[in-house]
Amino acid sequence: MRRAALVYGLLTMVFWSSAFVGIRVGLRAFSPFHLVLLRFLTASVVLLAGVLIRGGRLIPPRRVWLRVAMSGVAGFTLYHTALTLGERTVNANTASFIVAAAPLFSAVLGRIFLKERLASLAWLGMLISFAGVGVLSGVGGGIHWNALLIILSALSTAAYFVLEKPLLMEFPALDVTAWVTWAGTISMLLYGKGFVDSLIHAPAYPLLMVIYIGIFPAAVAYVTWSLALRNAPVGEIAPLLYLNPILASILAWLMLGERPGWSLMAGGIMILAGVWIIQVKSKMTQGTEIREARSEYQ
């Protein structure tokens, strides 16, 4: 793996891990819908400044408008709304482990839409990961409905990875990140009722934490992740996602006092083991687009 890709990937993991904690703190003062709206209004402003400074393209070509809109709704509106709603009762470390199942959903979607072939061993990995998700969701002892929202968020971000991939092959990472963020934020404007009042009355710490997760885990981290993907094949970068729930659990323990229990450890290990089998032990053929993109940007 190229050093630049590793640095961008690790930086992304640190920021994304902190987002799970930031959401829990922000929910002390904001409704889930107002939190999401504030976070991505902040991210949109930061990305606008970045595109203007870099002299990027503010409006994508008309031929990709539909893909940009779909990417924004899946990867931002749906993913972050479902995740934030789920974290009302699901603690940060549990949510991070469930979202860690996103690569296996990406593998399935990649097989269907991008024609990426999965080895037979990958299906075993999927079964193990799904069983781990079931443990974390409370299957067998009553389904934890908010955990199902976290599962929906994992599905949404998997769809986002698949939808965004062709855009990254053609346009700069910063431009693509800005376009899809703005598309997602526009649809979040439906959450605007009572937003200004909640903003005025919010305590300082939750307010600053939501602004933080808007700037870094949202705006900055999505750009660094796109840069990582452009500097190395997906198969080399994706295993860094294993660090996300581990870092999130450490931060949740230190900042929120959320100690991991046995069910979290068991379910989390099952999810990570399944994803590891899928992406490391099983052989997935990489599309010609990835090889072409790597040779173009190296």
DSSP secondary structure letter of residue 261: -
Nearest residue to 29 (alpha-carbon basis) of 169, 182, 208, 226: 208
| Structural contact between residues 289 and 166, judged by C-beta atoms closer than 8 angstroms | yes
Q: Supply the pTM of this predicted model.
A: 0.76
Instruction: For the beta carbon of residue 11, count every other beta carbon within 10 angstroms.
Output: 17
Distance in angstroms (rounded) separating the CA atoms of residues 208 and 202 = 10
**pLDDT number for residue 139:** 45
Nearest residue to 21 (alpha-carbon basis) of 92, 82, 83: 92
Residue percentage of the chain with pLDDT more than 70: 73
Looking at residue 67, its amino acid is: R
- Mean pLDDT value across residues 269-285: 64
**pLDDT number for residue 228:** 84
**pLDDT number for residue 295:** 36
| Structural contact between residues 70 and 200, judged by C-beta atoms closer than 8 angstroms | no
What digits encode the pLDDT tens for the residues 80-119? 999 899 888 777 766 776 676 666 665 666 565 555 555 6
**pLDDT number for residue 298:** 34
**pLDDT number for residue 32:** 94
Domain housing 276: 3-297
Count CA within 13 A, CB hemisphere, residue 130: 10
Instruction: Give the burial class of 190: count Cβ atoms within 10 A of its Cβ; 0-12 exposed, 13-18 middle, 19 or more buried.
Output: exposed
| Structural contact between residues 77 and 84, judged by C-beta atoms closer than 8 angstroms | no
Quick check: 239 pLDDT over 90?
no
What digits encode the pLDDT tens for the residues 177-232? 999 999 999 999 999 999 999 999 999 999 999 999 999 999 999 889 888 877 77
Residue whose entry in the numeric block shows the structure tokens 């710490």 = 205
DSSP secondary structure letters along 43-56? HHHHHHHHHHHHT-
Task: Give the chain's domain count.
Answer: 1
Could you give phi then psi for residue 100, rounded to 5 degrees?
-65, -15
